[in-house]
Amino acid sequence: MRKLLVITGPTATGKTKLGIELAQKYNGEILSADSRQVYKSLDIGTGKQTKYFQWGIDLVAPNAKFNVSDYVKYANKVLEDIWRRGKLPIVVGGTGLYIKALLEPFDTINVPIDKELRSKNYELRELQEKLQQTDPTKWAAMNESDRQNPRRLIRALEVAIASSKTGLHPVMDDTNSLIIGLTASREYLNRLIAKRIAARPAVGQEAARAVGQAATALAYRGKSEQAYAHRQMAYLKKFLPQTIWFDIGSKNWKDKLCPTIKNTLAI
């Protein structure tokens, strides 16, 4: 089974540094999931690490349009290439919409609920057996928590039934995915952001070279980045509930990280 590691969290939590460490440890390649880093030239304000990010950065000009659909099309091709070469793709970034769309393509998101299926009040065992019969690939890709969750089993069945009718086969169905989230208290995160902003003496000059790209503007607004980070956190927790969170402000948080990756992805 193909494997995918995702590292997310608000800005300034050290996602890039961790991604580099894990890529070196697990023979991985990094794909950025940052809606600001797709733009060329805007390196300082977006915290872009051009030396280590092999994919997902510098894709378009600062004034070009680039949406989530563009990202998913690009990312899917990259992931297939990384898997084909026997490496572990590591998606790193705080743009939750990119990550959600990648893991749960919009065709899947837009599959309507099956009122008839939901009205039958299946027991857990019945849902498990039905999904195994309808979509054994999806069943094999689910972790134990998902297999014990009636709501997720029903949703998986709805998608599987729709797939059989429309020919829809989401690219992630046969992929074992793990999302790691880096978090911190509001006070600790604010300090990290302030430290990061103070280390950007050339950001004003870089911003002056930007050509009116609103999507990148947040990188140049000083303390508004704190508010941005807290909005990121709220979005990620709401729309990526499967994320396993690690508090970077706590001691020895990394001691739990590698066992989680090893046990979940079997690497």
Q: What is the mean pLDDT of residues 87-104?
A: 94
For 242, residues 6+ apart whose C-beta sits below 8 A from its C-beta are 179
For residue 215, pLDDT over 80 is answered with no
Residue 161 sits in the same domain as residue 50: no
CA atoms within 13 A on the CB side of 62: 17
pLDDT of residue 225: 84
Residue 160 sits in the same domain as residue 189: no
Give tens-digit pLDDT for 132-141. 999 887 898 8
pTM of the model: 0.73
Q: What is the DSSP string of 160-221?
A: HHHHHHH----TTTTEEEEEEEEE--HHHHHHHHHHHHHT-TTHHHHHHHS-S-GGGGGGGS
* 164 vs 170, more confident: 164
Give tens-digit pLDDT for 2-56. 999 999 999 999 999 999 999 999 999 999 999 989 998 755 555 566 566 679 9
Confidence of residue 131 (pLDDT cuts 50, 70, 90): very high
Residue 257 sits in the same domain as residue 203: yes
131-147: burial string, b at 16+ Cβ within 10 Å, e else? beebbeebbebbeeebb
Confidence of residue 100 (pLDDT cuts 50, 70, 90): very high
Residue 118 sits in the same domain as residue 230: no
Residue 200 sits in the same domain as residue 222: yes
pLDDT of residue 200: 65
- How far does CA 171 lie from the centroid of its chain? 15
Q: Is 175 exposed, middle or buried (0-12, 13-18, 19+ CB in 10 A)?
A: middle
Domain count of the fold of the chain: 2
Confidence of residue 209 (pLDDT cuts 50, 70, 90): low
Q: What is the mean pLDDT of residues 96-107?
A: 85
* 205 vs 143, more confident: 143
Residue 78 sits in the same domain as residue 180: yes
pLDDT of residue 166: 57
Percent of the chain with pLDDT over 90: 61
Give tens-digit pLDDT for 183-202. 999 999 999 999 888 876 55
For residue 226, pLDDT over 80 is answered with yes
27 and 87 Cβ atoms separated by less than 8 Å = yes
Residue 199 sits in the same domain as residue 100: yes
Residue 180 sits in the same domain as residue 127: no
Residue 191 sits in the same domain as residue 82: yes
CA distance 128 to 91: 30
264 and 176 Cβ atoms separated by less than 8 Å = yes
Partners of 145 in the β-ladder: none
Residue 89 sits in the same domain as residue 191: yes
Q: Which domain holds residue 234?
A: 2-105+175-265
Residue 91 sits in the same domain as residue 187: yes
Residue 140 sits in the same domain as residue 14: no
Q: What is the CATH number of the domain that holds 199?
A: 3.40.50.300
